[in-house]
Amino acid sequence: MFTTKDPKGHTQLFQFDRVTNKRTQLTKEFLNVDTLRFDQKNDKVYMRVLLPGHRNFHLGTFDLNTHQTAVWNPSEDDQSIVYFDYNAFHNQIATLTKSVKEDYEKVSRANETQTPLEPSTKQINLITIDSKKSKQISTIKKFIQDISISPKGTNILFTASGEFTQDAKKTMYRLNLKSGKYTPLLSDSTSFSKLNLAQYSPDEKNIYFIATPKPFKWITDQGGREIKVRAIYGYNMETKEISKIWYKEDGYINHFLLL
């Protein structure tokens, strides 16, 4: 499963058959599809989708057996899914949401007053799929990029910054699902910057994340853009040591997911 643009320029869900080398488009009704997660039985794909006529993203599903799509709360026109993660062990979804209206107002105010953009309020929620219950865990006023839920379902990792600038310092936080309180774990350092996509190892003894190594190494991508090489790092929860795990020479890591 992967996402790419269709002939209309909309990003949709596709499937690639490695035996026949055939690519099949699975969705057509969305303007954008991203952030794919499989359910416990690999029968369903959870995804973030943008509906026509909407400015906010929704949580959607694609059934691999019936090839039917479904959108959660399709009538919602303000709260937007920024990011989400799925916990297969507990059949739960953690969502990061924001108000499109509040976001727009803050951007307009920053443009009108020529002042730094203030972060909108983000909500981190936990959805238990079996009971179809949703619980708000915390509200945070930061520029949050992503979230991931721990295998044991007790913590959520998120990376965030306090300002909206190109060189803003990123910090990884751990959010306790019971208390709703969060604490910083590590931040950009003299060795790397722009850390994001923090994820627990299955035994929760390590955390893996992407960052840009220092000194920076520039490469040219297929579109002719100058970009910085990124690497996958590991953070040992016991020793607090950080090590570079893997990077692609003259390549760019856009995303990764621990399975």
Is 33 domain-assigned? yes
Is 14 domain-assigned? yes
* Residue 139, beta-bridge partner list: 123
DSSP for residue 188:
-
Is 39 domain-assigned? yes
The sign of the torsion formed by the CA atoms of 187, 193, 199, 200 equals negative
Is the Cβ–Cβ distance between 151 and 132 less than 8 Å?
no
Is 164 domain-assigned? no
Query: pLDDT, tens digit, for every residue of 23-63?
Result: 999 999 999 999 999 998 899 999 999 999 999 999 999 99
Is 69 domain-assigned? yes
Is 186 domain-assigned? no
Query: Whole-model pTM?
Result: 0.91
Is 61 domain-assigned? yes
Is 110 domain-assigned? no
Q: Which of 80, 1, 82 is nearest to 38 (CA)?
A: 1
Query: pLDDT, tens digit, for every residue of 152-203?
Result: 999 999 999 999 988 899 999 999 999 999 999 999 988 999 999 999 999 9
How many domains does the chain contain in total?
A: 1
Is the Cβ–Cβ distance between 100 and 80 less than 8 Å?
yes
Domain of residue 57, residue span: 1-76
